[in-house]
Structure 1
Amino acid sequence: MALFLLRRLGAMVATLVAISLIAFAVIELPPGDFATAYVAAMQANGVVMTEEEIAGLRAAYGLDGGLLERYAAWIWAILSRGDFGQSFEWRQPVSDLIWGRVGMSMVVELTALVVMWCVALPIGVYSAVRRYTVGDYAATLFGFLGLAVPNFLLALGLMYLSFRLTGSALSGLNDDRFIDAPWDAARIADFLAHLWAPVLVLATAGMAHLIRVLRANLLDELNKPYVVAARARGLPEGRLIWKYPVRVALNPLVSSIGLLLPTLISSSVVVGVVMSLPTAGPLLLRALMSQDTYLAGAFILLMGTLAILGTVISDLLLALVDPRVRHR
């Protein structure tokens, strides 16, 4: 296991270097850069800038060097000082902008993941064990609806119902009076009162997907010889189901956990915009649209890091869940 982890850590470092370089290059692919967009915005407002002013602006933002030169300076600042650079649009250090947003995103997304698994696991098992019953048909209907309805449409529906019933739309994660307030008991209570809506929206589609996949996998396992043999030996049905076929049926879901970690940042982009959430998704979208290179690059680098860590975590969890992986 130690050798396995060392190999994976070595691969992680090489992969992160590749991700950072590709991300930095992709952000630079559209024509122009932040200085070009800024000059165009100034000209639209009737302000004409001279060539000297434009050159000074590019030098001030560090855009006068080549791609590899700017990438090397950015990576060296991250490795040596933990400095992700300066945001062009916000004129603030990138670190000051992202960590609060990332923390809020992780709270929302992790809560949605916990709710999703806690609800989908028992429903998926029940739907497979009680196949073709009313409960199975209800779970199937919920699965189809959850997969068919986009998250942003569900968010709009919830906001409309809330406005019709209570006179206030479900937006943000705190009331206006708590936005800059310290995290005391009153703000935490207000945060929890707002948290349920984005959690419900984000968990619905993933919950429906988990139910469908778990039901299909478990149906494949229930009639296999090892289950028939365990049942013939008199093993209690509940213990038999949860100890053996459910663990095997979870393998595809556990192996996909690595793909879920990057969504702690990226999956709530549209929902965050619709519901005005102070999460990382809307800030990432705005950084990409304005070609705010260092801010967007920091987000993409963080998402790549989470994807790689998630893959390692998936491998370890798979070895814990399935003894066959450990024996191999």
Structure 2
Amino acid sequence: MLSYIVKRLLLMIPTLLVISILVFVIIQLPPGDYLESHIAELQSQGESVDQDKIKFLRQEYGLDKPFHEQYFIWAIGMLQGDLGYSFEYDLPVREVVGNRMFLTIMISVVTIIFTWVIAFPIGIYSATHQYSWGDYGLSFLGFIGLATPNFLLALVMLYLANVYFGTSIGGLMAPQYIDQPWSWGKLQSVLEHLWIPVIVIGTSGTAGMIRRLRANLLDELQKQYVTTARAKGMKESKLVRKYPLRMALNFFIADIGSLLPSVISGAEITAVVLSLPTTGPMLLNALQSQDMYLAGSFLMFLAMLTVIGVLISDLLLAAIDPRIRLQGEVAK
């Protein structure tokens, strides 16, 4: 086990190196850079441009250097903990991301808990009561959840929250608490607004998880070891909990690789519709404005979380499912 973990950790180094090169290349593919986009925007508004200031900024941030030099400056800075400088926000990347990270993690964690709490009992019930009226009804609701676009559900929830509950439309807190230090009133305002994005983001994920859990559990319930356990007189509730359910959870654990980065990135489109101050819209704006240090550093952070999440899921799968071997040897 230890040798496997060490081998996987060493493999992360070239993996992240290749990802960093691809990220930097893709961000630099559009013509021009942030300063050129900023100049074009100012000129379109009829404002004058100080060419000496633009030249100074280009030299200050290394935008006048060749591509490979810009990459090495960025990569070495990340290794030293310097994520670079955001041109659009006029702040270090660390401060820009840090201001939004807490709210993003809070929304994502609550959404994950909401998804699991709803999906697990419904998925188990649908599988153990196949073709019953309850199964048909819950399956129908699940299909509606999968078919409804998140942005459409977000608009409906905003209207209902404003009309029936008096909650201000958009955002994650009342306007008077924006950019204010944390207090009991601000926390209450966040909790008042939190249920809307949690339901909107969690609906499609819950519906999809119910269908996957039902399918996996039905597949396990039809296997011979379940028939043998029933023939020996094992109670149905204990049987489902001890064997088939444990095997059906493999896909939940395998999803950890994508779960960790999604906790940080959040639902981008939904966040834009709901005007949430999370990292998703920040990343979209950084890519649109070619704010390369902000976009590149954040994408690398997501890549690192993905690689770590895949390693964690592999280790948990090997620990939970005896059919899985880390080294790939045949079980005897």
Q: Normalising by structure 1, report the TM-score.
A: 0.94
Counterpart-to-counterpart distance in 2, 1:51 and 1:109: 44
Counterpart-to-counterpart distance in 1, 2:138 and 2:319: 29
Residue matched to 1:72: 72
How many Å apart are 1:30 and its aligned residue? 0.6
How many Å apart are 1:218 and its aligned residue? 1.0
How many Å apart are 1:193 and its aligned residue? 1.6
CA contact (8 A) 2:266 2:279 kept: no
Residue matched to 1:240: 239
Residue matched to 1:313: 312
How many Å apart are 1:17 and its aligned residue? 1.3
Counterpart-to-counterpart distance in 2, 1:12 and 1:236: 46
Counterpart-to-counterpart distance in 2, 1:12 and 1:27: 22
Counterpart-to-counterpart distance in 2, 1:202 and 1:182: 27
After superposition, where does 1:183-198 map in structure 2 within 5 Å? 183-198=182-197
Residue matched to 1:175: 174
Where in structure 2 are there 5+ consecutive unaligned residues? none
User: Partner amino acid for 1:72?
Assistant: F
Counterpart-to-counterpart distance in 2, 1:223 and 1:89: 57
CA contact (8 A) 1:170 1:197 kept: no
User: Partner amino acid for 2:178?
Assistant: I
Residue matched to 2:258: 259
Identify if the C-alpha distance between structure 1 residues 179 and 54 changes in structure 2 by more than 3 Å, giving closer, same or farther.
Answer: closer
After superposition, where does 1:76-115 map in structure 2 within 5 Å? 76-80=76-80, 82-115=81-114
- How many correspondences in the alignment? 327
Counterpart-to-counterpart distance in 2, 1:171 and 1:322: 44
Is residue 132 of structure 2 the alignment partner of residue 133 of structure 1? yes
Counterpart-to-counterpart distance in 1, 2:138 and 2:236: 22
Cα displacement string for residues 201-233 of structure 1 (whole angstroms, at most 9, x for unaligned residues)? 111111101100111111111121100111111
User: Partner amino acid for 1:177?
Assistant: Q
How many Å apart are 1:43 and its aligned residue? 1.4
Per the alignment, in what secondary structure is the counterpart of residue 212 of structure 1? Answer: helix
How many Å apart are 1:67 and its aligned residue? 1.4
How many Å apart are 1:293 and its aligned residue? 0.4
Counterpart-to-counterpart distance in 2, 1:232 and 1:311: 39
Calculate percent identity across the aligned residue pairs.
45
How many Å apart are 1:71 and its aligned residue? 1.1
Residue matched to 2:294: 295
Q: Normalising by structure 2, report the TM-score.
A: 0.93
How many Å apart are 1:154 and its aligned residue? 0.7
Cα displacement string for residues 249-306 of structure 1 (whole angstroms, at most 9, x for unaligned residues)? 1112321221222222334111111111110001001000000000001110111011
How many Å apart are 1:51 and its aligned residue? 5.8
Counterpart-to-counterpart distance in 1, 2:221 and 2:234: 14
Q: What RMSD in Å do the two structures reach over aligned CA positions?
A: 1.7
How many Å apart are 1:314 and its aligned residue? 0.9
Residue range with higher mean Cα deviation, 251-260 or 123-132? 251-260
Counterpart-to-counterpart distance in 1, 2:48 and 2:178: 38
How many Å apart are 1:96 and its aligned residue? 0.3
User: Partner amino acid for 2:90?
Assistant: R
